[in-house]
Amino acid sequence: MQAKKLMPVYWATLLFLVISLAACGGKDAKPEPEPVSDPKLEVRYQRVLVQPVSLSAQFNEDYPDAAAECRIGLIEGLNETKRFQVNKVDADPGKVTDSHTLIVKLNITDMRIISRAARLTWDGFRSSYMDIKMTLTDSKTGKIIREKEFSTHNNVMGASWTFGSTDAYLPRDMGRIIGDYIAAVVP
């Protein structure tokens, strides 16, 4: 008699699980980026030169991979658009005679990335953040055409639930965000 009473609960639970899993089985849709409110640049650039990301000696000591990861994220973000020919340059390229080349320079002005080990302590209940100054320069004229500050602060509770795994990707994610911004403001 007891088994017959549980049978409807069993089937209802099973049906709920099947519907829940079916709802998650769709194709992963890439969300549309939010529109950028900044004005478009006046020139249509076809080539982007990405300089090394700069940061202070102290940040470089504390986060040795942050600059390289940010640059990789920026290049990935620009390449995903398939609109630009993206090149890394390791020094100031000087004036380039091509009028359709944009030079991107990033400077990490402030940052804190809480480690996974620190998330397990009371000290780890702080947020990671990153502040970056972007400079866009027209290669032919040498004029700075746009300077913008980017900033992010992660959610402490969200990072705590993942034990800081999302914090490790912060520099690369910020680079991708800046790449998306550049793609949005170049006509």
Which carries the bigger pLDDT value, residue 163 or residue 17?
17
Residue 62 is assigned to a structural domain of this protein:
yes
Q: Hey, which residues does 153 pair with through a beta bridge?
A: 129
pLDDT of residue 24: 58
pTM of the model: 0.74
pLDDT of residue 143: 92
Residue 61 is assigned to a structural domain of this protein:
yes
Residue 27 is assigned to a structural domain of this protein:
no
Segment 7-19, tens digit of pLDDT: 777 777 877 776 7
* 157, pLDDT greater than 60: no
Residue 26 is assigned to a structural domain of this protein:
no
CB 126 within 8 A of CB 112: yes
Segment 107-144, tens digit of pLDDT: 999 998 776 655 555 554 667 889 999 999 998 888 99
Residue 16 is assigned to a structural domain of this protein:
no
Residue 28 is assigned to a structural domain of this protein:
no
Count structural domains, the chain: 1
DSSP string over 64-124: TTHHHHHHHHHHHHHHHHT-SEEEE-SS-----S-TTEEEEEEEEEEEE---HHHHTSGGG
Rounded to 10°, the helix 66-81/170-185 angle is 40
User: What residues make up the domain containing 63?
Assistant: 39-185
Residue 4 is assigned to a structural domain of this protein:
no
* 54, pLDDT greater than 60: yes
CATH number, domain at 129? 3.40.50.10610
Residue 20 is assigned to a structural domain of this protein:
no
